[in-house]
Amino acid sequence: MSEFDFNASALRTIALEAEAVAAMAGRINGDFTQACQLIMHCQGRIIVTGMGKSGHIGNKIASTLASTGSPAFFVHPGEASHGDLGMITRDDVVVAISNSGNTAEIVTLLPLIKRLDIPLISMTGDRQSLLAEAANINLDVSVDEEACPLNLAPTTSTTVTLVMGDALAIALLEARGFTAEDFAFSHPGGALGRKLLLRVCDIMHSGDEVPRVNESSLLKDALLEMTAKGFGLTTVVDAQNTLIGVFTDGDLRRVVDNQVDINSATIGEVMTRGGNAIDANILAAQALNIMESKKITALVVEDEAHHPLGVLHMHDILRAGVI
């Protein structure tokens, strides 16, 4: 048996689906605009339904809509006929997906959707189908042929439908002015959510954990404070508890190199004045960028009056999963 050319088959599939997706550009017209406006004015949720492979695509479209600012969920059309139709209210919009437009489980729901006067958007491959004609707006997702050489397995048609769903979701996202922070609120458990939501004040060390010495303190006492708190630095404050500088492990190395007397020198003589201090309300991801750019592992956190509030260490950011 001759060796099958898997690469040629894959390239044919890619070419067919890419061509079908490109052809969709001519169908982004007034119908698409009306579908977006219908969803934008929806007072309830977007109910997506579809059977078989269309159902799998519909599930993904519902998930994308929900995570980009358009509340949506998927309802299986078979289950809808056995009680789940009660999940749909008059304030909702239904998006029904069927390549043929005549899927029995969805057609069965049409009289009930019409009786409740629920707006219906269809995605079909046949504009003369039962579903397309019953819908308020039909989005054309027809294809010339499936990538399947038998022209049977839903392949090109499901890809085109998925792209149409993505086009809807992103158009709505932009129209709503949906931001990265809004997206993070929908994904609080993921790395993106932590990067966009977690602030320095959420993970910094504060209170008695903050190393603190006065400018007149002896260097040896400052070293004891640094060792006790374990951040590799100590803040240096004046009589009003205003941050005037820091003393770090790097400063200590310079002290040793310069053969400074640790027992007699004051911290004010050897500290770094000013130093790197951040606001407690900035994102932890921003603090990480500062650490990386400055090549340091800890930052002092201060308030508006320049009083030290806390210390943030690289290990805190790692434990929080920001990286």
- The domain locations on the chain are 6-178, 200-319
For residue 196, the model assigns a pLDDT of 64
Angle at 248 between CA 291 and CA 260, to 5 degrees: 150
For residue 183, the model assigns a pLDDT of 66
For residue 92, the model assigns a pLDDT of 95
CA distance 29 to 22: 15
- Which uninterrupted H or E stretch holds 308? strand 308-313
CA distance 163 to 238: 62
Q: What is the pLDDT of residues 45-67, one digit of tens each?
A: 999 999 999 999 999 999 999 98
Phi-psi region of 236 (alpha: psi -120 to 50; beta: other; left: phi over 0): beta
CATH code of 6-178, in short, is 3.40.50.10490
Length of the chain (residues): 323
Structure tokens at 31: 């119908």
In CATH terms, the superfamily for domain 200-319 is: CBS-domain (3.10.580.10)
Q: In a 3-state reduction of DSSP, which class is residue 44?
A: coil
CA distance 123 to 158: 11
Q: Residues with Cβ < 8 Å from 3, sequence gap 6 or more?
A: none
Nearest-10 Cα torsion for 305, 306, 309, 312:
140
Q: What is the pLDDT of residues 133-157, one digit of tens each?
A: 999 999 999 999 999 999 889 999 9
CA distance 214 to 235: 8
Q: What is the pLDDT of residues 197-227, one digit of tens each?
A: 788 999 999 999 999 999 899 999 999 999 9
For residue 191, the model assigns a pLDDT of 58
* C-beta neighbour count of 274 within 10 angstroms: 10
Structure tokens at 236: 């240096």
Whole-model pTM over 0.85: no
Note the maximum CA span of the chain.
93
- Please provide the DSSP assignment of 121-152 as one string: EEEES-TTSHHHHHSSEEEE---S--SSTTS-
Calculate the CA 248 to chain-centre distance. 37
Q: Residues with Cβ < 8 Å from 160, sequence gap 6 or more?
A: 17, 20, 21, 24, 141, 142, 143
- Per residue of the chain (323 residues), what is the pLDDT tens digit? 578 999 999 999 999 999 999 999 999 999 999 999 999 999 999 999 999 999 999 999 999 999 888 899 999 999 988 878 888 999 999 999 999 999 999 999 999 999 989 999 999 999 999 999 999 999 999 999 999 999 889 999 999 999 999 999 999 999 988 776 666 566 555 555 666 678 899 999 999 999 999 989 999 999 999 999 999 899 999 989 999 999 988 888 988 888 888 888 999 889 888 878 999 998 888 888 898 998 888 999 999 999 999 999 989 888 887 76
Alpha helices in 24-155 (DSSP H): 30-40, 53-67, 77-80, 104-107, 110-115, 130-134
- Please provide the DSSP assignment of 144-191 as one string: S--SSTTS-SSSHHHHHHHHHHHHHHHHHHHHHT--HHHHHHH-TTSH
Strand partners, 266: 218
